[in-house]
């Protein structure tokens, strides 16, 4: 199976089949800093002991996104880096994070701590409820909204919010979520710098929330381009959205099939 399970706390364009135009060597200092920052944020850091180079890391990224593997910072790679996306890493260092995190119960509570001014309150609640239903439709999981008491999954819209994973305003990082666990575990944060919507104008809240709640339940990113858990955002019609097989297989490996719901 080609999905990736999250092993630590903490969206989907079509193929970018463009001619590969390499930038001249040596790279400019701006290019070098930009690619290093992206790789450091979303891929494992270079370990001098294993002899891996920056070129190796670029190849790793290009392979993950099904780009032409050159090890060079070219236009195809740059275009992928410019895509709106989820804020958690694409490839994790599994050796430091034992086990596959999952909730040990089937009834999970969630609480919306605040609301984006981009949408009426009821539309936010509908989008969040529908996003959870994506996962409850294929597993034994059930989700219950609570208003005041503590909840397993806390949802907030924020700018800077003190969790070491800062947002960057419109575009770029759209949201992030944390794997099941205590404290921040399961929580989902949405960048208030985005223009949240219920359609294709701006960023669709339902689609981003459904992706982030996959992380809240224990799924990591998939490198399958048609998967919901692919890290790059792509618009689907929410009215006709159906969970792709890759995501369904991943979540059912963690929680089982909905037919065994009790």
Active-site residue flag, 212: yes
SS3 labels along the chain = CCCCECCCCCCCCCCCCCCCCECCCCCCHHHHHHHHHHHHHHCCCCCHHHCCCHHHHHHHHHHHCCCCCCCCCEHHHHHHHCCCEECCCCCCCHHHCCCCCCCCCCEEEEEECCCCCCCCHHHHHHHHHHHHHHHHCCCCCEEEECCCCCCCEEEEEECCCCCCCCCCCCCCEEEEECCCCCCCCCCEEEECCCCEECCCCCEEHHHHHHHHHHHHCCECCCCCCCCCCCCECCCCCCCCCCCCHHHHHHHHHHHCCHHHCC
239 in a known ligand binding site: no
191 in a known ligand binding site: yes
245 in a known ligand binding site: no
Q: CB neighbours of 240 closer than 8 A, spacing ≥ 6? A: none
99 in a known ligand binding site: no
118 in a known ligand binding site: yes
211 in a known ligand binding site: yes
30 in a known ligand binding site: no
Catalytic hit among 60, 76, 192, 212? 212
185 in a known ligand binding site: yes
189 in a known ligand binding site: yes
159 in a known ligand binding site: no
List binding-site positions for Zn(2+). 86, 161, 163, 176, 189, 211, 215, 221, 229
Binding residues: 86, 118, 152, 161, 163, 168-169, 176, 185, 187, 189, 191, 194, 211, 215, 221, 229
Catalytic residues: 212
Annotated binding site for Ca(2+): 118, 152, 168-169, 185, 187, 191, 194
């Amino acid at each position: 199976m080609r999905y990736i399970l999250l092993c630590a706390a903490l969206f989907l364009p079509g193929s970018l089949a463009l001619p590969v135009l390499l930038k001249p060597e040596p790279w400019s200092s701006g290019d070098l800093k930009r690619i290093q920052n992206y790789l450091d944020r979303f891929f494992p850091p270079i370990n001098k002991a294993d002899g891996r180079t920056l070129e190796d890391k670029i190849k790793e990224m290009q392979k993950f996104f099904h780009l032409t593997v050159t090890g060079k910072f070219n236009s195809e790679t740059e275009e992928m880096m410019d895509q709106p996306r989820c804020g958690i890493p694409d490839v994790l260092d599994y050796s430091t994070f034992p086990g596959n995190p999952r909730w040990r119960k089937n009834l999970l509570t969630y609480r919306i701590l605040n609301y984006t001014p981009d949408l009426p309150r009821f539309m936010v609640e509908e989008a969040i409820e529908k996003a959870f239903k994506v996962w409850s439709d294929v597993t034994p999981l059930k989700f219950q909204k609570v208003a005041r008491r503590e909840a397993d999954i806390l949802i907030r819209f924020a700018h800077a919010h003190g969790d070491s994973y800062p947002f960057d305003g419109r575009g770029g990082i759209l949201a992030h979520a944390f794997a099941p666990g205590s404290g921040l575990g399961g929580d989902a944060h949405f960048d208030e710098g985005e223009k949240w919507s219920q359609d294709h104008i701006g960023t669709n809240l339902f689609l981003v929330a459904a992706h982030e709640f996959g992380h809240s339940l224990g799924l990591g990113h998939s490198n399958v381009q048609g998967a919901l858990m692919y890290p790059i955002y792509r618009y689907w019609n929410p009215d006709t959205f159906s969970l792709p097989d890759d995501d369904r297989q991943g979540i059912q490996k963690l929680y089982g099939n909905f037919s065994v719901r009790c």
